[in-house]
Each structure stands twice: as C-alpha cells, then as structure tokens.
Chains A and B, each alone.
Chain A
C-alpha cells in the first residue's frame, strides 16, 4: 500500500443521507493525521476558490486525488465534502461527473441531494443508470433519484437493481415510492414469471419490493418459489 487504508471506511451509502457537518465530523475522526491535514487544506482551498477556473480548478485536483490521500474507504465522503466546500453548482457537478473516474462519478451522485435542490441534475442520474457498473447504479438510486426521478425511469432503476444484483436496500425511499405502484408491481410480476419460465430462481428482493407496492399483479409469483437471497452484484443484467 502506498497510501492510508482504513478497513472500516466511512460508510459510503450514508454520504447522501448524513448532513454535511456530521459527515465531516465522522470522517475527520476516522482519518489518520496526515490525511486529516490534507483534507482540511483541501476544504479551505475549495471554500476560498469555488467555481470553475481554467481547464482544472484546484478543488477538482483535490477531488481527483482524494482516493490516494484519504484511502479508498473514505474517498466518497471526502469528495462529497470537497464538492460541498467548493459550492459546486450544476455546471461544475456535470463537468466533474463527465470528466471523472467511476469513483468521482459516484461521489457526484452522492453529493446531489446536498447541492442541487431541484430536478436539474436528473440527466446525471440517468447517465449512471445507463451503465452496468453496480457501484454507480447503487449511488444513482439514492435520495436524489427518490426525490426527482419520474415514475418510468425510477421503476426501471429498481428493476435494473434486481437484474444486476444490486440490493434494493440501495434504493432510497423505496417503501414510499413503491406504495400503490401497480405498474411497478406488474413489471415485477412479469420479471418473476420470466425467471420462473426459465427455471431460474426469483430474487428474494423482488418479493420485498412487490410486498411494498401493496399490489398483487396477475402474474404474481408464489413466495415459496424464491429459495435464495439476492444474487451478487456483477454488472450483467441476468
């Protein structure tokens, strides 16, 4: 290893939900001294020189190197804090996402609920949902999508999670958005029927979501046909 590693990491899934101040406190408590000093300086720089400057802003450089400075397990949290300190607007977030590594793109997705009040960043979420990178899919299905994604793409996001093995726990606000969604129930029922016809097991998560819809589709599968848990994330729709 050539940079700090903390096997525990800062919970990535929490970065979109935890208030920024709290995220800062938690991250700071976990970082070794050198990484903490680096982060403090990066946040100061970002706050002093926000916005886009030239081909690459100073805070964009810090965003790029956050993984090797803070360790992979803390990079998501560090990047969300840097984006917040730089007061990144939609243009800045879009540039960072488009020019980013998969890790930087994931951090942008986590940062959206903190930085973009309206639905303008939905195209970034839709871009991530078009990928088959399960890390991006899970981040794209977060609170920002729950708040702003239209019903049709949101249902496809849920279905894609099931297809690619991303646990539906990654889908923010799943219970509220699923409730009474007869179209989602139909899609889940059809998917279950397709799997059953192929002699393949139905993901347990499918039954969870189906139950949340509170709707029984015509093709509703029998719960006892689902003998196993969620398949592993693998990035291939199967």
Chain B
C-alpha cells in the first residue's frame, strides 16, 4: 500500500514517527503551515517556521525515504492578531518556491472580519501564483463555516476544482461535494473523524476527489491513521485500486495541480554523495 498523507504537521513529530510511517507505506507528505500551539507575536517567527518547511523538514523526511512538500499561508487563528498580519506581505516570495504545492491552510476559525480578509487575500494569492488552496473548515460551528467558506471561494478568482476543503464530516460532506471542491477528511483518535465513519462516508459518497489525512500535529493524533483507513477499506470490501485512489492518486492529482510535485526522494535529496542519505529508506 502506497500512501500520500496530504496533511500532516511533521515539524511537531519525531523521527520514530517517520520510521513508522515509512514502514506503514507512507512515501509522500504535505505539511501545511499552521498554528504551533503557542501563538506567535511577530512575522519573524513565521518566517523561521516557513524556512524550516522549505529547508530542514524536507531534509529530515528524505532521510526516511519520504518526499516532503508544504503549503504556505497565514493560518486563520493567527490572522486575528494584527501583529502577525504583515506576514501576508512576505508570502509571495515563498509561493514561488519549488515544493510549495498550495496556499494553506487557510479558512475560518471564529469567522471574524479579519479572517474574511485573510481568506480572500490568500485565495487571490493562490490564483496569482498558479497554486491550488487548502482550506480547512472550522472546528466550531462547522456547517455555517463550510457555507461561508464555499461562498468566499465562489467569489474568488480560484476555480472550485483547485480547492481542497478539509476536516469534513457527515454534516458537511454533501454540500462540499456538490460545490465541486476536493474533499479532505482528517482522521483523528476520537474527535474529527475515525476509521469506521470514514469508510462509511466513502461508501455513501464515493471515492472521487476524496483525500484522507492524519492531520497529525502536536496534539493527540496518530500519523498512521491513513494506513488504518486503508486497511479498514480493504476489510470492508473496497478494492486495492479504491485504496490507491484515495491514499495516493487523489492527493497526487490535487497537489499536482501546482506543477511542483517531485515524488522522487533520491533525485531531490541525494545529489551530493550518492544515495546514502536515504538510510532507512532503502
């Protein structure tokens, strides 16, 4: 089983996780820029974080045979702090980089006017840079949040089929699917979505344009949830091709819209001294 985790915050994870992910079949990840748990107070700390996403973290991932890409954005939560807003002016120089495959994650947290502005501004940035966008739906007041999200996407210059709406669930999947967006599901221990519910949603709504992620981060989460969904799909009668579509081909197709996916770890990260850097990936 080859697995592409389209949403995972590896900065917050250990090398043990990378090893376990590789053993489970994970060969590619996308790490969306997000909140680190401790609120930032200045653009400078965003820049160091973004630099890690285009520098150190791909190096770390490559050591374990995993191709690492990222998405860059000012996240919804911190868009509400005026001290952080100047980071929006720095985004364009990140959005031209190799391995930056989308603008994200953007979206709503508390649905404030500041969040409205940040979402609209960054959807425009995605359109300007030929990138798709990863838009999450809020944890609180999710259905209203989804509707507001779809409205702002419709008003933007970005076509619906270049947008991935994430953290969907039973109450939001149908409207999201009808909109023509790509559909993301974050499978967590206990909370947003679990394996059984995920498989039920796949049975009810199909596999087309569906992406499953672990969204693993610094909180209670499990970087192997993608594999667990794949295993349960097979146990519940889905074919290996269905699993490959959801866990590999769909994320490749969505992030491939950037024209910047490079899934060949050896070609990217072992240019100096042969491929010995791939220790653990062989």
Contacts and interface: CB of A to CB of B under 8 A. Distances in A.
Interface of A: 1-3, 5, 7, 9, 12-13, 55-56, 61, 64-68, 71-73, 75-76, 99, 101-105, 131, 133-135, 138-139, 165-167, 169-170, 232-235
Interface of B: 54-56, 58-60, 63, 92-93, 96-99, 256, 258-264, 267-269, 271-273, 276-277, 279
A165 B279 CA distance: 11
Contact of A55 (B54, B55, B93, B279): B93
Contact of A101 (B63, B92, B98): B98
A235 B59 contact: yes
Given A3-B259, A72-B262, A9 B271 contact: yes
Nearest to B262: A72
B272 A102 contact: no
A1 B56 contact: no
17 contacts: A2-B258, A2-B259, A2-B262, A55-B93, A56-B96, A64-B96, A65-B96, A67-B99, A72-B271, A101-B97, A102-B56, A102-B59, A139-B272, A166-B273, A170-B272, A233-B276, A234-B277
A103 B271 CA distance: 10
B273 A167 contact: yes
A138 B276 CA distance: 14
Most buried by B among A1, A61, A105: A1
Contact of A135 (B54, B92, B256, B269): B269
A1 B252 CA distance: 9
Contact of B55 (A3, A73, A102, A170): A102
Contacts of A169: 273
A55 B92 CA distance: 9
A102 B54 contact: yes
A3 B96 CA distance: 15
A167 B93 CA distance: 34
Contacts of A5: 264, 267
A134 B277 contact: yes
Given A64-B98, A101-B54, A234 B63 contact: yes
B277 A232 contact: yes
B273 A2 contact: no
B271 A3 contact: no
